[in-house]
């Protein structure tokens, strides 16, 4: 299955990049990239790392019921997770940072993975909010790719999926005893005997990771920090835009941020090749940005999002004295 997903992701990336670049004037694109004002990348990178720091604080907040870990100790692990997502397929960075957290702080992998999934659900809710805030403007846009016209439908479907998952998590957090009874019933009736003890242990630890959602105030705090994270990241889009001779509104960049990050949930080559670039280029073209300019900006933005945090993550990973094969295996956990 992993091989199928890998090659499917590679195929999707190739197809998306082909349709995004097939009409590109290479000489004009080269001129756009070579004359960009790259000094604007400096504040863009700084505001992006501010978002990474807030992400580390949010994870610290989610983990408080399990263990109180200072944000400055979470930050290196978060950057290692980014590095893993950028270099390996299947969003392996999420498992990587959960495994390193267990190695450094003793937090069970299944419990920390629960908090990471909660993060992703709240991220998805914020991304969809960015899209919904701009649906009125989006309705007036056109695009030859056909991609723009489908965003409304995709947003509605995505909103339904994320809201259902969020409600399930909130109910599981608020009613832990009832949820454990459901887990026990499923474990006793649907799981083979030899796996029951392990499955039950994993499920219980996963539920422990949802404990931060029991308080409505805590859930609102997680939602608020998620919005701050993605607004800061949109700030990077805004700074990088100033390196190029075009201008769209901050709300348009919020819309772009929401769309491209939702699109990166689709299988792709490592680094979100194609799934980030194609929708970003299509959206900018719909706003009237010339093709070469839209391609140049999106490619430089993608590189500026990918490279700095990957290098920082690699530095921390190396300092940990780790290799991929040395990462603890979830199966070695005991209940």
Q: Which of 252, 244, 226 is nearest to 115 (CA)?
A: 226
pLDDT tens across 76-120, in order? Answer: 999 999 999 999 877 889 999 999 999 999 999 988 998 998 999
**Res 304 pLDDT > 70:** yes
**Does residue 31 form part of some domain?**
no
Question: What pLDDT is attached to residue 59?
Answer: 95
Domain count, the chain: 1
**Does residue 75 form part of some domain?**
yes
**Does residue 210 form part of some domain?**
yes
State how far the alpha carbon of 105 is from the alpha carbons of 165, 202, 240, 311, in Å.
28, 18, 37, 24
**Does residue 327 form part of some domain?**
no
**Does residue 331 form part of some domain?**
no
pLDDT-based confidence at residue 281 (cuts at 50, 70, 90): very high
Percent pLDDT > 70 in the chain is: 90
SS3 261: helix
CB atoms within 10 A of CB 216: 10
CB atoms within 10 A of CB 227: 16
Residue that the structure tokens 């999420």 belong to: 94
Q: Which of 102, 123, 104 is nearest to 112 (CA)?
A: 102
**Does residue 22 form part of some domain?**
no
**Does residue 330 form part of some domain?**
no
Which residue segment(s) compose the domain that 303 sits in?
2-9+48-322
Q: pTM value?
A: 0.86
Question: What pLDDT is attached to residue 101?
Answer: 94
**Does residue 214 form part of some domain?**
yes
pLDDT tens across 191-214, in order? Answer: 888 888 888 888 888 888 888 888
């Amino acid at each position: 299955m992993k091989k199928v997903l890998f090659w499917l992701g590679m195929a999707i990336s190739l197809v998306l990049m082909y349709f995004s670049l097939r009409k590109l004037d290479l000489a004009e694109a080269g001129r756009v990239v070579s004359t960009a004002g790259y000094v604007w990348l400096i504040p863009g990178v700084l505001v992006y790392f501010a978002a990474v720091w807030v992400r580390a604080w949010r994870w610290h907040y989610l983990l408080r019921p399990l263990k109180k870990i200072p944000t400055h100790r979470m930050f290196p692990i978060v950057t290692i997770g980014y590095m893993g997502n950028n270099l390996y397929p299947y969003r392996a960075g999420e498992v990587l940072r959960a495994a390193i957290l267990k190695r450094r702080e003793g937090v069970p992998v299944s419990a920390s993975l629960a908090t990471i999934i909660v993060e992703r659900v709240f991220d998805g809710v914020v991304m969809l909010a960015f899209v919904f805030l701009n649906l009125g403007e989006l309705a007036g846009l056109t695009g030859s790719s056909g991609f723009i016209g489908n965003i409304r439908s995709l947003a509605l479907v995505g909103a339904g999926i994320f809201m259902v998952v969020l409600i399930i998590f909130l109910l599981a957090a608020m009613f832990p005893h009832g949820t454990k009874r459901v887990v026990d019933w499923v474990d006793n009736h649907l799981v083979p005997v030899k796996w029951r003890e392990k499955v039950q242990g994993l499920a219980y630890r996963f539920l422990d990771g949802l404990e931060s959602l029991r308080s409505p105030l805590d859930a609102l705090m997680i939602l608020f920090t998620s919005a701050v994270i993605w607004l800061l990241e949109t700030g990077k889009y805004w700074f990088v835009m100033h390196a190029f001779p075009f201008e769209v509104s901050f709300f348009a960049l919020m819309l772009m941020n929401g769309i491209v990050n939702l699109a990166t949930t689709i299988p792709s080559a490592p680094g979100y090749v194609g799934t980030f670039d194609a929708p970003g280029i299509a959206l900018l073209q719909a706003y009237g940005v010339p093709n070469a300019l839209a391609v140049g900006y999106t490619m430089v933005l993608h590189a500026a999002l990918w490279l700095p945090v990957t290098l920082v993550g690699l530095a921390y990973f190396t300092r940990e004295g780790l290799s991929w094969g040395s990462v603890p295996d979830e199966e070695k956990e005991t209940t």
